[in-house]
Amino acid sequence: MAAISIRTAPPTSLSFFSSSLFTTPKFQSFSKPNSLNPPNSSLSLSISCQVSTLPILSFTGEKIGETYLDLKTAPPDTARAVVHRAIITDQQNKRRGTASTLTRAEVRGGGKKPYQQKKTGRARRGSSRTPLRPGGGVIFGPKPRDWSIKINKKEKRLAISTALCSATESMLCVEEFGDKFEKPKTKDFIEAMKRWGLDPKEKVMFLMMDVADSVGLSSRNIGTLRMLTPRTLNLFDILNSDKLVLTPDAVDYLNGRYGVDVDIDNEDDEEEEGESEQDAGEE
């Protein structure tokens, strides 16, 4: 009797970097309509909408409301590949590629024959800069090179929004607290984190539209904390954090930049027009 093998579907969890951010969240999934496919079509869409509700906490730690994230996300079967490609691209593009070694033709000296060819009982030697001797050249050593690789802008945005969607269970929203610190004091900031249910020993990422000087000075001595703005938001810090803290303005920014209805092509055109106007002004 022939054995029957049963193939099970791959897990939907996005375990990556052993981070708790890639646990499978409980989302309300809404498919994006496609006019090219009939309503009963079995074709899966490449991008879906993930809606998640976040509590809004006051500076004292009390719940004062709720907000939501409505971001694009990749399907579970391709999400890990998209995020992996984006993080590898970011890490590889950071390599400077300045490692360099000298070959035997580039090492200084070695023009004179060390000793005569015969009658010494030793192996014949034509140069003291041979790779077989100390101080000689390096065989197939590293040379300066460009390690950068390209990734599509839409793919990178989809990776960031997918990572944010997978982190919603470890995410909370806090009201603007930039004016709550009269003077920089790390102790006060740690107490505020504890009121919000955050452990200073865990990796926490704050995303704010603007970091006040008192907040930046109060938090910079906490080694496990990252204070980011939309300009410095990156995929590695999202994956490497245990908790994510947003402000209401940051939530609106994420919905406006990574939402389902965002047209990246139009945004690119606007950015190019803005850059051209800026270059014309400089000239």
Q: How many other CB atoms are there within 10 angstroms of residue 215's CB atom?
A: 21
pLDDT at 15: 40
pTM over 0.75: no
Q: Of 36, 4, 47, which is closest to residue 258 (Cα–Cα)? A: 47
The amino acid sitting at 177 is F
Tokens 């839409």 -> residue: 154
**Of all residues in the chain, what percent carry a pLDDT higher than 90?**
51
CB 206 within 8 A of CB 228: yes
Residue count (the chain): 283
pLDDT at 50: 56
C-alpha distance across the termini of the chain, in Å: 81
Q: What domains sit in the chain, N to C, each tagged with a CATH number?
A: 52-94+148-262 (3.40.1370.10)
Is the predicted pLDDT of residue 42 greater than 90, yes or no?
A: no
pLDDT at 175: 92
DSSP 45-76: PS-EEEEEEEEEE-TTS-EEEEEEEEEEE--H
Judged by DSSP in three states, 89 sits in helix
Confidence of residue 69 (pLDDT cuts 50, 70, 90): confident
Judged by DSSP in three states, 90 sits in helix
Judged by DSSP in three states, 174 sits in strand
Rounded to the nearest integer, the mean pLDDT of the chain is 80
DSSP 200-251: TTS-EEEE-SS--HHHHHHHTT-TTEEEE-TTT--HHHHHT-SEEEE-HHHH
Confidence of residue 265 (pLDDT cuts 50, 70, 90): low
The radius of gyration of the chain from alpha carbons, rounded to an integer in Å, stands at 28
The β-bridge relationship of strands 63-73 and 48-57 is: antiparallel
Tokens linked to 81: 């590949």
Q: What is the pLDDT of residues 4-22, one digit of tens each?
A: 444 444 444 444 444 444 4
